[in-house]
Amino acid sequence: MNPAQPPILSVENLHTYFRQDEGVVRAVEGASFDLYPGQTLGIVGESGCGKSVTARSILRIVEEPGRIEQGNIWLQQPGNSQRVDLTTLGADSQEIRNIRGGEIALIFQEPMTSFSAFHTVGNQIIEAIRLHQKLSPKEARERAIDLLGQVGIPKPERRIDEYAFQLSGGLRQRVMIAMALSSDPRILIADEPTTALDVTTQAQILDLLRQLQEEKGVSIILITHDMGVIAEMADDVVVMYLGQVVEEGPVDDIFHAPKHPYTRSLLKSIPSILAKPRTKLATITGSIPHPYNRPVGCSFHPRCPDFMPGRCDVAEPKLQRLSERQVVSCFLYEQEVKP
């Protein structure tokens, strides 16, 4: 949230539904947020809160029967003040294909299942390069080797001819980042980039993302359930629950003055080095409701420690601005709303 310059990407009132025979899954229900140039925006929440579907909605790669039902996704055009609404582009159109990978790149959650087992990682990077750049096969290969070196892969001229199953988890993730950077995107979406990696490798991958952002000025959307990763990497934070944004603000405000009960519960569940040995970690009561059976009123009220009967289970709270840079969706702050 940086009012000094316009956002490079704006998601406004996004609704993405999966209509199935059993019912309608409202995976994303009215999400709104902005991403600014050179910023890292963290999107955090438990599994099933709609984080990954939001990312796929931005890139228009939501799998059937999912579809964007409502909302806008505005992408700032490079070099001018014009914006394009990605929701108006066909999912298979040439326009969105140029943006997907060219302007906005995605680091998938599990690189092992994202790479083809029948082609070398180098051939897959080269294909991505030639899709967006007019380079010869030799030039594209040299570019791929250079990218592998940039992301810290040793002996890239040899690794380029290996298959994904020959690489460790950390190296596969680095190759995935190299592929995402192959066309110099302005926006990088990292979906759980450190999942299933050991602590040392996690730190290396996060350091790599930070270094690449400083060098290339890329804007990053970091999707994770790990509040520790958010604390280390994010400038601003979006907290999602059951497809809705329940709180948004600068990372320092979110960690030092969290407003929404869900945000506070997430922070309490983080282990602390100051805690006494064998201290039981705090947990969030209950579990995320079944997608076919969303609660009436506030979606978090069945698990909320501050639940107000007759209010939270009747009406749905709207996002309220508590300060210039922090908004929250909770009835606890109705009297604190800024004009």
Q: In what order do the strands lie in the sheet with 219-224?
A: 104-107, 187-191, 219-224, 40-44, 236-241, 244-250, 327-328, 320-321
Interval 104-161: pLDDT, tens: 998 887 766 778 888 899 999 999 888 888 889 899 999 999 999 988 889 999 999 9
Q: Could you give the CA distance from residue 192 to residue 179 in angstroms, rounded to a whole number?
A: 16
Evaluate whether residue 3 is within a structural domain. no
The whole-number pLDDT of residue 337 equals: 47
Cβ neighbours for 16, distance < 8 A, ≥ 6 positions apart = 27, 28, 50, 53, 54, 57, 62, 66, 67, 68, 69, 243
| 228: in domain | no
Model confidence at 270: pLDDT above 80: no
Asked if the structure places residue 103 within a domain, the reply is: no
Identity of the residue numbered 2 = N
Q: Decide if 271 is inside a domain.
A: no
Residue range 81-93: average pLDDT? Answer: 90
In a domain, 165, yes or no: yes
In a domain, 304, yes or no: no
Domain membership flag for residue 25:
no
Q: Which domain holds residue 125?
A: 117-178
CA distance 227 to 233: 10
For 259-274, b/e burial (b = at least 16 CB within 10 A) is bbbbbbbbeeeeeeee
Q: How far apart are CA 321 and CA 273, in angstroms?
A: 34
Q: Judge whether 141 lies within some domain.
A: yes
Q: 3-class DSSP state for residue 328?
A: strand
pLDDT(273) > 50 = yes
**What average pLDDT score do residues 204-233 get?**
89
What confidence tens digit (pLDDT) does each residue in 10-51 have? 999 999 999 988 888 999 999 999 999 999 999 999 888 899
At residue 275, the pLDDT reads 64
| Band of residue 227 on the pLDDT scale cut at 50, 70, 90 | confident
Tokens of 127: 């294909």
DSSP strand E in the chain: where? 9-20, 23-35, 40-44, 66-76, 83-85, 104-107, 187-191, 219-224, 236-241, 244-250, 320-321, 327-328
Q: How far apart are CA 314 and CA 107, in angstroms?
A: 40
Cis-peptide into 317, omega within 30 deg: no
Distance, CA of 291 to CA of 18 (rounded, Å): 10
Q: At what angle do helices 121-132 and 169-180 cross, to 10 degrees?
A: 10
pLDDT of residue 115: 81
| Number of structural domains the chain divides into | 1
